[in-house]
Amino acid sequence: MSNHLVGINQRTKDYLISKVNNRMLFEHRKVWLEQCGNIPKGYMIHHINGDKKDNRKENLVCVSRKVHGKLHSKSVVTNPQDVVIKDGGLI
C-alpha cells in the first residue's frame, strides 16, 4: 500500500501532504480518516495546539467550516476545547 509523506503545501508552507493510493491528501486529514472516520462535507480538521505539523490524533478536531473560521480569527478568542466533541462526534 502506497501511503507516505511526500511533501509540504507549497502555498502555505505548513500543512504536510501524503500520497495515498496515488492521491494527494493532507496528512492531518489522512490521520483523521484513518483513526476517527469520515469527514463530512463542509467540515475541516483543525490543529488544536496550532502546530500544523503536529498531526497526532489528540491534536486534531473535526469542526464545521464556520467554527474553523472562528478558531483562526484573531478578533475572536475561542478556546478550542469548547468545540471539541468527544468520541468522534461532530458539531
Q: Interface residues with Zn ion (CB under 5 A)? A: 46
Min separation Cβ 12 and Zn ion, Å: 11
Q: Which is nearer to Zn ion, 29 or 46 (CB)?
A: 46
Q: Are 67 and 80 in contact (CB under 8 A)?
A: no
The amino acid occupying position 87 is: D
C-alpha cell of 83? Answer: 468545540
C-alpha cell of 48? Answer: 488544536
Q: Which is nearer to Zn ion, 18 or 44 (CB)?
A: 44
Q: Which is nearer to Zn ion, 12 or 21 (CB)?
A: 12
Min separation Cβ 6 and Zn ion, Å: 21
Q: Look at the chain and count its residues.
A: 91
